[in-house]
């Protein structure tokens, strides 16, 4: 099990054995499409990268300090 390549909720490695669809850009959490947290709880960075719920407070704090 690798947290960067497996969904943090179901441990799936994504569709057809591919890596989890969305990876947090600041930690090792990853989520398949089915378990991706609601969009108001995360920040989409790029097509496959997010800032996860756990990292959002730190991300927002960093934005405020800029």
Sign of CA dihedral 30, 53, 50, 27: negative
Q: Which two tokens stand for residue 34?
A: 């089915």
C-alpha–C-alpha distance, residues 21 and 48, integer Å: 6
Percent above pLDDT 90 for the chain: 36
Q: 51-63: per-residue pLDDT in tens?
A: 999 999 888 877 7
User: Is the pLDDT at 10 greater than 70, yes or no?
Assistant: yes
- pTM score, two decimals? 0.76
**DSSP 8-state code for residue 50:** E
- Cβ partners under 8 Å of residue 20, min gap 6: 4, 5, 6, 7, 12, 13, 14, 30, 31, 32
């Amino acid at each position: 099990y690798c947290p960067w390549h497996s969904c943090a909720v179901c441990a799936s490695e994504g569709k057809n054995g591919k890596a989890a669809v969305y990876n947090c850009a600041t930690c090792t959490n990853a989520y398949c499409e089915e378990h991706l947290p609601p969009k108001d709880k995360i920040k989409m960075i790029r097509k496959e990268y997010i800032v996860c719920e756990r990292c959002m407070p730190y991300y927002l704090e960093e934005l405020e300090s800029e």
